[in-house]
Amino acid sequence: MRRKRETLKDGTTVLIRDMHYEDLDKLMKFYRSLPLDDRVYLKVDVTKRKVVEQRMKLIEQGTVFRIIALQDNEIVGDGMFEISKEEWRKHQGEIRVIVARPYQRKGLGMLIFRELHSLALKKDIDRIVVKMMRPQKGAINICKKLGFHKETVIPNYVWDQADKPQDLIIMTCKPKNLWRELEHFYSDSDWRRCR
């Protein structure tokens, strides 16, 4: 069971642990507190309890792994690692991360990403995939820094939560390359001085 305390760049301490079904109420509170700008590009409408409940049940199947970051017993970050259920893509895993506004740019997203990456290594995944919509420039830039490469752009392929068509950007990275970039990120930043 994953459970560890981490210190963010500003000195804030958070608990990172596996998500459990009992976290549903906290998760709904977290999702509903996110500004529309942060929710508009998500795959599903996370303000709908039934949708979130169904997604949480996927954990039991053993192909979806969820972790959360808590501060004062409130969820402030959420990460998901999903191994493809399709036979021809079973070597692939997709990572998704969302962090509450007050905790962005403090390293929390990277900490969650690192935990999910470590999980990908344990599951012997050959390729990590991230999918984003074109307006998510910040997330795209972070993924580039981590060693992800743009594989394809599919014009007007998905619709955002505001019902506007968006280009889908698919980026991939080999887990071992991502590990190098994560290590590089932590050693080159002022991270350690803040701990």
pLDDT of residue 182: 64
* Beta-carbon-side half-sphere exposure of residue 83 (alpha carbons within 13 Å): 18
**Span 98-125, average pLDDT:** 89
**Span 159-180, average pLDDT:** 88
| CATH number of 68's domain | 3.40.630.30
Buried b (16+ CB within 10 A) or exposed e, 48-77: eeeebeebbeebeeeebbbbbbbbeeebbb
**Number of structural domains found in the chain:** 1
- Residue bearing the bigger pLDDT, 18 or 183: 18
Domain range for 141: 3-194
Overall pTM surpassing 0.95 (yes/no): no
Q: In residues, how long is the chain? A: 195
Model confidence band, residue 195 (pLDDT cutoffs 50, 70, 90): very low
pLDDT of residue 118: 85
